[in-house]
Amino acid sequence: MRRFSQRSSLVTLSEINITPLLDLAFVLLIIFVITTPLLEQGMSLKLPSGGKPDRPIEPKDIRTVEVSSHGIYFLSRRQMPIEQIEADLIKEVRANPNLVVYIRADENSRWKDVEAVMDRCQRNGIRISARTEPPKGK
């Protein structure tokens, strides 16, 4: 009789109870289902097709406008008033429609000075690109 009882206890130990494993699997599934939409940072947009791919910008197509912290404007490292910069850029964009204006502003410059350059470029159909300092590595 003793052998029979030992045999039955071995039989019951050899079976694996999968209920806790299924509970764990379902909990993980629920966690992934809830957190996955939160990981997406942007809006879901369906962009229209068409247009041409962007061409690389050549250095001869770039003009740089700099704005100091005191509201002084520079075009290609020459100081000039904003009206003169606008007139020069209009002439250049008529001669070269691929012109892109890089806007570099001091981090302490007034927003109205930077916005004045951006507004004048946009009114005249001139493409602009704001330039920043890359973050410094540790």
Phi, then psi, of 78 in degrees rounded to 5: -115, 130
122 and 84 in a common domain: yes
Total number of domains constituting the chain: 2
Q: How far apart are CA 67 and CA 15, in angstroms?
A: 77
Whole-prediction pTM: 0.57
Does residue 87 fall inside a structural domain?
A: yes
- To the nearest 10°, report the CA torsion of 123, 105, 64, 91: 30
Tally of CA atoms within 13 A in the half-sphere of 129 that contains its CB: 11
Phi, then psi, of 135 in degrees rounded to 5: -65, 145
Q: Which residue has the tokens 């007034």?
A: 110
67 and 11 in a common domain: no
113 and 75 in a common domain: yes
Does residue 86 fall inside a structural domain?
A: yes
Does residue 43 fall inside a structural domain?
A: no
Does residue 10 fall inside a structural domain?
A: yes
What is the pLDDT, as a whole number, of residue 37?
72
121 and 65 in a common domain: yes
Domain that holds residue 14: 2-38
What is the pLDDT, as a whole number, of residue 53?
60
Does residue 27 fall inside a structural domain?
A: yes
Cβ(69)–Cβ(76) under 8 Å? Answer: no
Q: How far apart are CA 78 and CA 56, in angstroms?
A: 26
126 and 64 in a common domain: yes
Cα Rg, the chain, nearest whole Å = 33
77 and 107 in a common domain: yes
pLDDT in tens, the chain (138 residues): 455 555 555 555 567 788 888 999 999 999 988 887 776 555 555 666 666 666 678 888 899 999 988 889 999 888 999 999 999 999 999 999 989 999 988 888 888 999 999 999 999 999 998 887 766 665
125 and 64 in a common domain: yes
125 and 91 in a common domain: yes
Beta bridge partners of 130: 103
Does residue 136 fall inside a structural domain?
A: no
